[in-house]
A and B are shown apart, each in its own frame.
Chain A
Amino acid sequence: MIDSKHFAIVTRDESWSLGSRLVTESRLIHGSADQRGATIDARDDRDDELLVLCDRESDRVREAIASLREGRARAVVTARSDSGVSATISLSVRDLSVVTTLPHLAADYEMLIDLASVSAIADAGDLGVPLVWRNGSGAVLMHEAAGHPAEDDQPTLEWPSWLRVETPLAMRRESFTDVPLRRMAQVTVTCVEAGFSPPSSRYIEILLVAGGRYEPLADRVSLSISAANRIDGNESIRLRPFMIDEPRESIARSLRGASGDVRRYPGVICSKEGQNVFVGSHSPDLVTEFR
């Protein structure tokens, strides 16, 4: 929860070219904000205790990143007076990228290398086949379809009875010159009914989502899919990036079921009013079918 009187932050934002072991960009950002009513006084002063915390975590992140050998990385380590220390690490290999946190860095990097090792050779074509949202990516779908509408006080849709979507909201800000906004803190999707069998023959499995958007005026969701496979029997073909753009009601109607364990999606950097915040994302495999 945001301290309504005083807020302080220290951030180190560093980018690496992993192949050449070079730090290409390094930013130190610090400051504080004092809010009285509807006025914020922001100044780039330094909280030395937060700086120590930030630097300690930055050292841990650098040590972990040193073991990576391919692609690019950007680590944003932040110590805040309202919520402690956090680190988000964006990893890019060839055309794919994920956002992760220190405990999951090695596993998510391995997944990214694995995904990037397969060449995309076909267009998505017919999106009327079942879509299976793997790797927790169903949480990104619900981030746009349920989370952002909740932030905007849009009417709640009637979701399937087997689906639970939790998108707790909190006042969040990216930095000291930003106005705190009511934002999602995380997205957790669960299934309360067992026994659903996912499609077994012809479907598209979505592995990675590059970005998404909720348009409140049209009540539509669009998602940019960066990695997906078309499955036809035993054949799996990597698809070129494609877009899914649907009214929110259509998404609610499209949900067929869920299966498997709740999985952590590597992470989502959510941008609103120019402020980027990390949103933790968890979901079982979701199945949608747009007809």
Chain B
Amino acid sequence: MSEIYRKFGRTLRYENGTIVRSDEAGEAIEDAQTFTCRPIAHTVELPPIDGGAIDETVSEIHSIVRAPLKIERLIVSEGIAEHQFGDRRWRETTRRVHVAITFRALRALIDLGDFDLADVRMISGALVRAVPVEAGTHTEARIRLAPNVSAALLPALLGLVPPNIQLTQTAGGFDGKGSAIETCDVSIGQWPNWFRPSYRVRPVRAPFSLRASCDVTQIVEDLPRAIALLAPIERLTMSVLCVRGATVFPATVRVARIDAVSEAVRWYPYGAGSFGAEMML
């Protein structure tokens, strides 16, 4: 039996100095063997996107990230979409920020699911004080992860989660086939929902809005704290920007165990979403 999914979307995107306004509508048909997709008529009216919030966000990021820091890449977007799957209809709005900030040979990567720029401020303030890579690169065994860093780690933990950690899908919204996303334990690798980031992408099972929890929630405050990713996570190895007192330095962290996780504080757009929390390795 064929499944038919339709999406009507409108996005506004700032990308490194260029504004892209985009209107698209498309249909994906999938059966057991074949996935096909194509554009369709725009039969659903979508509201306009006011670019004011994007303009303000871009302007604020430029005011936060000042020389000697450089913005290597800045993408700020807002979108609205109506989805249809069978007789199900649902709408969603999205906001995304991706910014890469460089200082000497370091590059901090920031991905946000809203326009709250607290992480950009924190990371920019620290990055400009970072010691040169040659003098500061080392491996940290015990470390705290800031919420934006732990959120990026969670998708990499799928299938590898330590026994003292529970990974949970958080309820909210609908998946790529219109089913409500419910809270469930995803530590053992069974995912009830489908992730479909675009109508052109064949949906795959994935856990949504991951959240990690641990019986131990107390974080030792005097450990160095990883506050930014310096590269995408590869397996369970992270290149991070660390702060210890007044010292800021790059470090490599190999995640072998997780000792504590505090309350999740913010959603980030890693994988099909993950919540960041202070985490202690």
With A27-B36, A44-B24 as known contacts, state yes or no: A217 contacts B19, CB within 8 Å.
no
Per-residue CB proximity of A244-274 to B under 8 Å, as 1/0?
Answer: 0000000000000000000000000000010
Closest to B13 in A: A177
**Is the CB–CB distance between B19 and A39 below 8 Å?**
yes
Closest to B9 in A: A44
Taking CB atoms and an 8 Å cut-off, the chain B residues in 19-48 that contact chain A are: 19-26, 33-39
B15 at the interface (CB under 8 A from A): yes
Chain B: minimal CB distance from A211 (Å): 14
Closest to B200 in A: A27
Q: Which residues of B contact A24 (CB under 8 A)?
A: 33-35
A41 at the interface (CB under 8 A from B): yes
A38 at the interface (CB under 8 A from B): yes
With A217-B105, A273-B73 as known contacts, state yes or no: A42 contacts B36, CB within 8 Å.
no
Partner of A38, one of B19, B34, B107, B200: B19
Per-residue CB proximity of A17-55 to B under 8 Å, as 1/0?
Answer: 000001111111111000000111111101000000000
Instruction: Give the complex CA separation of A179 and B37 in angstroms.
Output: 23
Instruction: Give the complex CA separation of A23 and B37 in angstroms.
Output: 13
Instruction: Give the complex CA separation of A26 and B35 in angstroms.
Output: 6
Q: Which residues of A contact B202 (CB under 8 A)?
A: 25
The main secondary structure of chain B at its interface with chain A is: strand
Q: Which residues of A contact B20 (CB under 8 A)?
A: 39-40, 42, 177, 179
With A25-B34, A179-B18 as known contacts, state yes or no: A44 contacts B39, CB within 8 Å.
yes
Instruction: Give the complex CA separation of A129 and B20 in angstroms.
Output: 49
**Is the CB–CB distance between A42 and B34 below 8 Å?**
no
A218 at the interface (CB under 8 A from B): yes
Q: Which residues of A contact B170 (CB under 8 A)?
A: none
Instruction: Give the complex CA separation of A42 and B15 in angstroms.
Output: 14
**Is the CB–CB distance between B18 and A38 below 8 Å?**
yes
Q: Which residues of B contact A42 (CB under 8 A)?
A: 20-23
Partner of A41, one of B21, B34, B35, B104: B21
B17 at the interface (CB under 8 A from A): yes
Partner of A25, one of B24, B35, B73, B104: B35
B102 at the interface (CB under 8 A from A): yes
Chain B: minimal CB distance from A252 (Å): 19
**Is the CB–CB distance between A40 and B39 below 8 Å?**
no
Instruction: Give the complex CA separation of A40 and B17 in angstroms.
Output: 11
With A43-B23, A44-B25, A177-B22 as known contacts, state yes or no: A29 contacts B17, CB within 8 Å.
no
B152 at the interface (CB under 8 A from A): no
**Is the CB–CB distance between B16 and A179 below 8 Å?**
yes
The range of chain A's interface size is 20 to 34
Instruction: Give the complex CA separation of A41 and B21 in angstroms.
Output: 5
Closest to B17 in A: A38
Closest to B20 in A: A40
**Is the CB–CB distance between A28 and B37 below 8 Å?**
yes
Chain A: minimal CB distance from B241 (Å): 14
**Is the CB–CB distance between A217 and B18 below 8 Å?**
no
B106 at the interface (CB under 8 A from A): yes
**Is the CB–CB distance between A44 and B23 below 8 Å?**
yes
Closest to A33 in B: B20
Per-residue CB proximity of B201-219 to A under 8 Å, as 1/0?
Answer: 0100000000000000000
Q: Which residues of A contact B25 (CB under 8 A)?
A: 44
Chain A: minimal CB distance from B265 (Å): 29
Chain B: minimal CB distance from A245 (Å): 13
Partner of B36, one of A22, A26, A30, A177: A26
Q: Which residues of B contact A218 (CB under 8 A)?
A: 105
Instruction: Give the complex CA separation of A29 and B24 in angstroms.
Output: 10
Q: Which residues of B contact A22 (CB under 8 A)?
A: 33-34
Per-residue CB proximity of A188-226 to B under 8 Å, as 1/0?
Answer: 000000000000000000000000000001100000000
Chain B: minimal CB distance from A183 (Å): 14
Instruction: Give the complex CA separation of A51 and B26 in angstroms.
Output: 17
**Is the CB–CB distance between B73 and A39 below 8 Å?**
no
Instruction: Give the complex CA separation of A179 and B15 in angstroms.
Output: 8
Q: Which residues of B contact A39 (CB under 8 A)?
A: 18-21
Closest to A40 in B: B20
- For this complex, 29 residue pairs linking A to B, each with C-beta atoms less than 8 Å apart, are A22-B33, A22-B34, A24-B33, A24-B34, A25-B34, A25-B36, A25-B202, A26-B35, A26-B36, A28-B37, A28-B39, A29-B39, A29-B200, A31-B24, A31-B39, A38-B18, A39-B18, A39-B20, A40-B21, A41-B21, A42-B20, A42-B23, A43-B23, A43-B24, A44-B25, A44-B39, A179-B15, A217-B102, A273-B16
Chain B residues at the A interface, C-beta cutoff of 8 Å: 15-26, 33-39, 73, 102, 104-107, 200, 202
Q: Given contacts A28-B38, A38-B18, could you give 16 more A-B pairs where the C-beta distance is less than 8 Å?
A: A22-B33, A23-B34, A25-B34, A26-B36, A28-B39, A29-B39, A31-B24, A39-B19, A39-B20, A39-B21, A42-B20, A42-B23, A44-B23, A44-B24, A177-B20, A177-B24
Task: Give the top 3 A-B pairs by smallest Cβ distance, nearest first.
Answer: A28-B38, A44-B39, A42-B22
